[in-house]
Amino acid sequence: MSDTLDAPSIDSVDIWDRDDMEPRIRDILDRTVRDRINGPYAAKTEAQVVAMLENYFAVTEGLEDIAISDVARMAGGASKEQFAFIIRHRGDATGEKLVLRMDPLEAIAQTCRGREAQVHVAFADILPVASVRSVDANGDILGQPAIILGFVNGVTEPTQGTGHGVSGIGTRYDEWAAKLTPQFIDALAQVHRFDWRAADLPISRRLNRARDRRRFGR
């Protein structure tokens, strides 16, 4: 009988090598499974966000008389809970507008907030990325992995374009396409020219070494 006819059915073959996985991603996925015992995830309320942030800045920066205001849930970013807010404290009565990006339980995409922070810092002088105020990569203080960024004014898609969808899906740029294309190509080229080996990306380097040792025994 031919090899094709003798082959096991697709349903009986596990196509995933679950040991061939980047250590940090494995940690994140394992954490997700462990957190399932906490029950169904409920989106954070404004009061909960305020309490989390007041405690976080008191613990991490030692700020006093902290006031969190103008908390607003941000649209887009389907895999994260995002909130814009203003923080005031004894040393800054004027206030600063920031953004909290937080991992909900079992997000649609599992990524590392620590790595996100490092990439933002690495690209600060290359692309117009948001500044990093703070990061709680494992959610030790906030209770959920999160990054706090500076607020960047602007829009994520043309306000006068036709076709708007969730997280940019289905967006049409119409007459803006010709204006945005050169900027997009330049940004894409900057990303590909970036020498990540020379950048301060300790999480990535540590994970790459661990992966190589497992794969190649070195």
Identify the structural domains of the chain with CATH numbers, from first to last. Answer: 17-216 (3.30.200.20)
pLDDT at 11: 58
C-alpha distances in angstroms, 79 versus 6, 59, 106, 120, 166? Answer: 42, 27, 9, 18, 12
pLDDT at 30: 85
The 10s digit of each residue's pLDDT in 150-202 is: 999 887 777 776 666 666 667 778 888 898 899 999 999 999 999 988 888 87
Helix pair 23-34, 202-216: axis angle to 10 deg: 100
Q: Contact 150/121 with Cβ under 8 angstroms?
A: no
The 10s digit of each residue's pLDDT in 75-130 is: 765 678 899 999 999 999 999 999 999 988 777 777 889 889 999 999 998 999 99
Task: Write down the number of H helices and E strands in the chain.
Answer: 6, 5
Nearest to 81 by CA among 118, 53, 61, 119: 53
Task: Please state whether the predicted TM-score (pTM) of the whole model is above 0.95.
Answer: no
Q: List Cβ neighbours of 83 (8 Å cut-off, separation of 6 or more).
A: 44, 49, 71, 72, 73, 74, 99, 100, 102
Ranked by mean pLDDT, the top range of 10-14, 22-26, 205-209 is: 22-26
